[in-house]
Structure 1
Amino acid sequence: MRALATIDRSALAHNLERVHELAPGREVYAAIKADGYGHGAATVARALHDADGFAVSSLDEAMQLRWSGITQPIMTLSQPLDAAACALAAEHDIRPVIFDRTHLAVLADYVGPELSVWIKLDSGMHRLGFAADEAAEIESQLQTLRHVSRVGWLTHLGCADDPASAMTKRQLAAFEAGTTGVDGQRSIANSAGVLAWPAAHADVVRPGIMLYGSSPMTDATAADYDLRPAMHLTAPIISRRRVAAGEPIGYGATWCAPEDMEVGVVGIGYGDGYPRHAPSGTPVLVRGERAALVGRVSMDMITVDLRAVPEAVVGERVTLWGPGLAADEVAEAAGTIAYELFCRLTGRVSVEIV
């Protein structure tokens, strides 16, 4: 077996419990879009059976959960709305987020089983949603619709990863002002909101990345919040060789051995989703010891410096991220974020659920 992603259900459950501890008394809609951030949406949903609901991107993602036997309420965060989408959502207790005036026109024509919806307000991120000061107008329109009920109001924070963000303070104020006097639940907090902005907890929190054991914060690690990695990505050493001082390794000859040294070739590459632009020096774990990527990432292989672990042998597995090596650290070295590392893994990676 080459690349293997081991998904730890107990870590997912632990991280959900941390959400409950940090935002006590709030409902939790766990974000499991993009196939559970690459961890397997159904696997994650079952592990998070104590969540009050789930948040996904689209009806397709929601229906995959329903077909997998998931029964909790599901909200779709960015689903375009038409008559067929309304009917399917109502049939399966899927709750679309309404964020555009074209949706209001569709809802005005909808006739069928009661459809529950969330309304998204733009509090300052300027991506999706109605202007916050339009909430009362939107509520008036929805009250005239016989087949549509409103669950509540939500917004999304653009800079909550910065605990000192002035923008977050402005967003919270805009959302509070816009929703004053309208009925329904409020939902604001993403993972960063859960961790750093108690004023954003409102009625319903929507954590994502923290459930998978990574930190969204600019100033704190996952370990600082007692979050556990839910994915352990490993791959085997498929060859080892001795390289003479001054000899290059890999495409482009971008790295040369500083001395005679042992190098391990590991069976994972960008064809498996490992980041192609990870530079030399990106950490891996060999026998629990830190070693470094050297040379360019290939489609099927990477090469690692074995000087710190000269006893490593062909066949043993190397940790690319997981326990002992945070995905956030690997992502920083590669100039990306852990979200992308998780989501970009390809079908070549085998999956084991523990």
Structure 2
Amino acid sequence: MIRAQAVIDRAALAHNLQRVRDHAPGCRVYAAVKADGYGHGATTVAHALHQADGFAVSSLDEALQLRWAGIEQPIAILSQMLDAESCATAAEHALEIVIFHDAQVEALAASAGRPIRIWVKLDSGMHRLGFACERADEIAQRLQALPGVQIMGWLTHFACADDPDDGLTDRQLRAFKDATRGRAGDRSMANSAAVLAWPDAHGDVVRPGIMLYGSSPIHDRSAHVLDLRPVMHLSAPLIARQTIAAGEPIGYGATWRTPETMPVGVIGIGYGDGYPRHAPSGTPVLIGGRRVPLIGRVSMDMITVDLRGAADVRIGERATLWGPGLPADEIAAAAGTIAYELFCRLTPRVRFSLA
């Protein structure tokens, strides 16, 4: 009996990519596949998204993994501080690197003048990575003086694009547009939230991430409303069930007690597989086509559920922890986290397969 299993729906990935194109027509799409494709498997995702115009990753290692897997599209390295040797390796493999610090400019100068494509990141107000907007002239001049360096364009990142009512995105957008006005090269600003909620921020290249995986990046709009399909279906089997008398404790710490004599099920997944340990009692689980609540603490290998609403389910029947019919966003909200973390925290105990 297979315990925890994650099935990756490649057709859902393709559908979600089309939703990006529907919202940002005419833009090139660099699909974000960092952190092992948000936990879905970077090479699996990249091959499924073969119609993407390029890919965005966090590090040189992640980029090389895609190149070695036969991915030929442009790949941009978003957030690694590369030294001269790493810059040379990036150039050798036709990778694009994002320059956000003076030390990287120095590394480029020391990398033997190999032809290399770069993006310049400006800090338009998030204050995480990027050159101050008022330094755009200076940085452009320094980079243009380096042999072999081709500036592909200018890039920034939004802090609050997931909230259409937050004024910071407007301020960031104005700052970035002012700093890049009249400059050669493409513009890349939009993450998933900006793709959906900020059409003025689409620019030339959009960089969607979480929406490709079927999760909503907008805090008050569900994935269903946005017509995003879940890509990961995480399931595990019912491995035990028994009838427990009223007033009895369930699980570690005896944090939950049976209000009446009732059926209790045990499902073969726990925090050792990446299911959130802090998921509280009441977090929904889908089994037999019905929702049942988690009860008691999450264990390393097991969770317990209240089967009063699904008393006829049998041993071996698989429960959905998130996926079709049970959005990861809902589980994340119950556990006080975000779907990104749920996806990225699955452990090697989970068996992955493709649909």
TM range (shorter): over 0.9
Q: Which amino acid aligns with 1:117?
A: I
The match for 1:219 is: 220
In 2: Cα distance, 1:46 partner to 1:243 partner? 48
The match for 2:98 is: 97
Residue 112 of structure 1 deviates from its aligned partner by 4.1
Is 2:195 the counterpart of 1:202?
A: no
Residue 147 of structure 1 deviates from its aligned partner by 1.6
In 2: Cα distance, 1:340 partner to 1:270 partner? 13
Is 2:158 the counterpart of 1:157?
A: yes
Is 2:318 the counterpart of 1:317?
A: yes
Q: Deviations over 1:81-126 (max 9, x none)?
A: 1111111100111111100011111112221430111111000000
The match for 2:73 is: 72
In 2: Cα distance, 1:150 partner to 1:257 partner? 64
8 Å CA contact retained: 1:54, 1:73: yes
In 1: Cα distance, 2:245 partner to 2:122 partner? 61
Q: Deviations over 1:169-227 (max 9, x none)?
A: 10000100111121110000000000100011000000000000000111100011100
In 1: Cα distance, 2:148 partner to 2:28 partner? 25
The match for 1:39 is: 40
Alignment of 1:181-196 (within 5 A): 181-196=182-197
The match for 2:22 is: 21
The match for 2:122 is: 121
8 Å CA contact retained: 2:113, 2:146: no
The match for 1:254 is: 255
Q: Which runs of 4+ in 1 moved over 2 A?
A: none
Residue 142 of structure 1 deviates from its aligned partner by 1.1
Residue 345 of structure 1 deviates from its aligned partner by 0.2
Alignment of 1:273-352 (within 5 A): 273-352=274-353
Q: Which amino acid aligns with 1:57?
A: S
8 Å CA contact retained: 2:239, 2:316: yes
Q: Which amino acid aligns with 2:13?
A: L
Q: Deviations over 1:274-329 (max 9, x none)?
A: 00000000001011111110000000000011101100111010000000000000
8 Å CA contact retained: 1:189, 1:207: yes
The match for 2:236 is: 235
User: Normalization by structure 2: what TM-score?
Assistant: 0.99
The match for 1:132 is: 133
8 Å CA contact retained: 1:136, 1:182: no
**1:55 aligned counterpart, secondary structure:** strand
**1:331 aligned counterpart, secondary structure:** helix
Structure 1 unaligned residues grouped into runs of 5+: none
In 1: Cα distance, 2:256 partner to 2:42 partner? 39
**1:277 aligned counterpart, secondary structure:** coil
**2:225 aligned counterpart, secondary structure:** helix
Q: Which amino acid aligns with 1:263?
A: V
8 Å CA contact retained: 2:85, 2:111: no
Q: Which amino acid aligns with 1:189?
A: A
Alpha-carbon RMSD: 0.7
**1:320 aligned counterpart, secondary structure:** strand
Residue 132 of structure 1 deviates from its aligned partner by 1.4
User: Normalization by structure 1: what TM-score?
Assistant: 0.99
In 2: Cα distance, 1:226 partner to 1:313 partner? 33
**1:265 aligned counterpart, secondary structure:** strand
Structure 2 unaligned residues grouped into runs of 5+: none
8 Å CA contact retained: 2:250, 2:257: yes
**1:241 aligned counterpart, secondary structure:** strand
In 2: Cα distance, 1:134 partner to 1:112 partner? 23
In 2: Cα distance, 1:249 partner to 1:67 partner? 49
8 Å CA contact retained: 1:133, 1:177: no
The match for 2:7 is: 6
In 2: Cα distance, 1:9 partner to 1:112 partner? 40
How many residues end up aligned between the 2 structures? 354
In 2: Cα distance, 1:220 partner to 1:128 partner? 28
In 2: Cα distance, 1:208 partner to 1:14 partner? 14
The match for 1:145 is: 146
